[in-house]
Structure 1
Amino acid sequence: MKKSLFLFFFLTISVVGFSQETKVKYDETLAKSLHADEYGMKKYVFCLLKSGTNTTASKEETKKLFEGHMETINKLAKEGKLAVAGPFMKNDRNYRGIYIFNVETAAEAEALVATDPAIKAKLLEAELTPWYCSAALQEIPEIHEKITKTKM
């Protein structure tokens, strides 16, 4: 009997807890600052980085170009033009990494891609596609700074 009473009480509390409607906590100021639409979304440009056609660069040249690549990533992130960037793990598709540009058009992203030394030297190739995602995505660089113990 005690088990049945306990089970009934537990199920009643669970149903009441789950059936209560959660209140949306819309922050208009934040939404406007992130240029979010009514769904909390905005336009970005997704950039898929693939292995480029330059296969003759020396190790020293490649190292220098990728140092410039990292500098470009950091610069664009600080300027707010790059929401996310990161490498892919080893794969058989020649995918090297991604950029998600905090711009509305592929033309704007194309101009930013042109500043990357590894892309200019054709070590990497960039494929750009308009993308629609949460406006909150652009908050990642600030959060990342708070959780990074060692800088790259």
Structure 2
Amino acid sequence: MKKLALLLTLLFVSNGFAQTESKFDEKLAKELGADDYGMKTYVFCLLKSGNNNDATENEKKIAFEGHMKNMNKLVEENKLVMAGPFFKNERNYRGIFIFNCSTIEEAEEWVKTDPAVKGNFLEAELTLWYSSAALMKVDEIHDSIAKTKI
């Protein structure tokens, strides 16, 4: 019985503490498009190796330079929240994009602007994803911790 009383007391105290420590910022939540849980819908894009095996090294180079420029453009337009490559792996996974939109169709239009996808060097698989709206601040925070800019 003492254990139950102690457990209930700890539960009550911890719940009370959590409620009094809330730092909810309604303005920021609205700015980031957060729901009541601080979450929002994105489109997650898995980039895999494409089937273009006939291109020259120069064609690949041009396509991937365009890929980087396109990513930067999408970031500036607030369309691309996060991107990054995978290390070499046996599944031919190359990287990810997380798009700031809530429909596959919209993300498909943005993926089509990528020269590496257009040239079949990369293949994109898209799916809806539900995650923290705080991801919208990653680029801003990253800029303040990166010594070297890409």
How far is the alpha carbon of 1:73 from its aligned partner?
0.7
Which runs of 5 or more structure 2 residues have no equivalent in the other structure?
A: 1-9
Counterpart in the other structure of 1:128:
126
Supply the distance in 2 between the matched residues of 1:115 and 1:143 (Cα, whole angstroms). Answer: 26
Q: In the alignment, which residue of structure 2 is the partner of 1:11?
A: none
- TM-score, structure 2 as length reference: 0.87
Q: Distance in 1 between matches of 2:70 and 2:80?
A: 10
Query: Secondary structure of the equivalent of 1:93?
Result: coil
* Distance in structure 2 (CA, Å) of the matches to 1:151 and 1:21: 41
Match of residue 17 from structure 2? 21
Q: CA deviation at 1:134?
A: 0.3
Equivalent position of 1:9 in the other structure? none
Q: What whole-Å deviation, never above 9, does each CA across 1:89-116 have from its counterpart, x for those lacking one?
A: 0100000000000111000000000000
CA shift, 1:145, in A, is 1.1
**Paired residue for 2:7?**
none
Question: Segments of 4+ in structure 1 off by > 3 A?
Answer: none
Give 1:104's aligned amino acid. Answer: S
Distance, in Å, in 2 between the alignment partners of 1:148 and 1:56 is: 37
- CA displacement at 1:21 relative to structure 2: 1.2
* Aligned sequence identity (%): 60
Q: 2:55 aligns with which of 49, 53, 57?
A: 57
User: Which of residues 125, 132, 137 is equivalent to 2:135?
Assistant: 137
2: CA distance, partners of 1:30 / 1:151: 27
Give the alignment partner of residue 108 of structure 2, picking from 107, 110, 116: 110
Q: Which deviations, in whole Å up to 9, do the C-alpha atoms of 1:64-106 show, x marking residues without a partner?
A: 1100000011111111101100000010000000000011100
Structure 1's unaligned 5+ residue stretches are 1-14
Give the AA of the match of 2:50. Answer: G
> How far does residue 149 in structure 1 lie from its aligned partner after superposition?
1.3
Distance 2:120 2:148 in 1: 29
- The farther-off stretch of 18-27 and 88-97 is 18-27
1:87 aligns with 2:101: no
TM-score, structure 1 as length reference: 0.86
**SS of 1:68 mapped into structure 2:** helix
In structure 2, C-alpha distance between the alignment counterparts of 1:138 and 1:103, rounded to whole Å: 11
Two-structure CA RMSD over aligned residues (Å): 1.3
Structure 1 residue 151: deviation in Å?
1.8
Aligned length: 136
For 1:140 and 1:57, the matched residues in 2 are separated by 35
